[in-house]
Amino acid sequence: MRTQVVTGRKRLALIGANGMLASMVIKMTPPDFEILAFDLPDFDITDREQVLRMMQAARPQVIVNCAAYTNVDGCESQEELATRVNGDGPGYLAEAARGCGATLVHVSTDYVFDGRKQTPYTEEDPPNPLSAYGRSKLRGEEAILASGLERFFILRTSWLYGPGGKNFVETIARLASERDELRIVADQVGTPTCTEDLAKAIFNLLHLAEVAEKDTRPAPYGIYHFSSAGHCSWHQFSLEILAQLRQAGIPIRAQRVVPLLTREYPLPAIRPHYSVFAKEKYQQATGAPIPPWQESLGRYLSVYHRQ
């Protein structure tokens, strides 16, 4: 465990602290939090006894779980490992949070849905994952719900990108500088989400809970959907990435972006064809604006893109 001491009183245990989302959580942490960072090799989310022991020793007021096995296709051949990390681990964190009186924030995914719906998914829609990754993430949600923990937020998000990790934006930017033509799937629709926006959403929900408890009224804990506003296909996302790179004066070799059907680009894991989220619950609870995905992309490219 390493500690980033920040002036303040609330201890936040950040699980998976070396990952892409966690690095942004650290960057966006309000000044009244103290970050306690946990990750491999010193902290193993699949080791129940270690999780309970280390959380009991740290006594955090908040636990934010950014740890996950996110290799979607790798999960198909390593579902047991994915289930331990994405399924059992969150349950251990919920048990630990209950033991030390902490609020748990757990990040989940659009892959818990099958993508057969044609209107945005709400928090009340029944999950039906099609992939090992989706099944493992749903198992994590179910473990939290079954734990008896009352103070939790399960925050589902989609198409996440940000600095400090492998992401679609950087992959497209790199390929566009190397190739004349890109071939991108056009029949999967969702919403890109920048880690900066998601980190802000995490703290907005934590602030909401704190205010509610100070007012001695029930805090609106539970499941929330969060992504940027709007939606697009991967093909449309790619076109916007290239357009914004050109606008920024960054040389692009690619002249064509050819749309593909999913069946033309087979992968081990089945992706949901439609995974747009309804976000009214989050907006009504927090009152916070949600930026359009194009705006967030522009901010990412201007601030974080590795040129």
CATH code, domain carrying 78: 3.40.50.720
Whether residue 298 is contained in a domain is answered as no
- Rounded mean pLDDT, 268-291: 97
Q: Annotated catalytic, 133?
A: yes
Query: Does the pLDDT of residue 98 top 50, yes or no?
Result: yes
Whole-prediction pTM value?
A: 0.94
Query: Does the pLDDT of residue 22 top 80, yes or no?
Result: yes
Whether residue 303 is contained in a domain is answered as no
Query: Does the pLDDT of residue 217 top 90, yes or no?
Result: no
Whether residue 176 is contained in a domain is answered as no
Whether residue 248 is contained in a domain is answered as no
Domain count, the chain: 1
Whether residue 252 is contained in a domain is answered as no
Q: pLDDT above 90 covers what percent of the chain?
A: 91
Whether residue 179 is contained in a domain is answered as no
Domain that holds residue 32: 2-158+193-229+276-291
**Whole-number pLDDT of residue 9:** 74
> Which residue in 242, 244, 247, 252 sits closest to 177, CA to CA?
252
Whether residue 245 is contained in a domain is answered as no
- Rounded mean pLDDT, 224-231: 98
Whether residue 76 is contained in a domain is answered as yes
Q: Catalytic pick from 92, 133, 274, 282?
A: 133
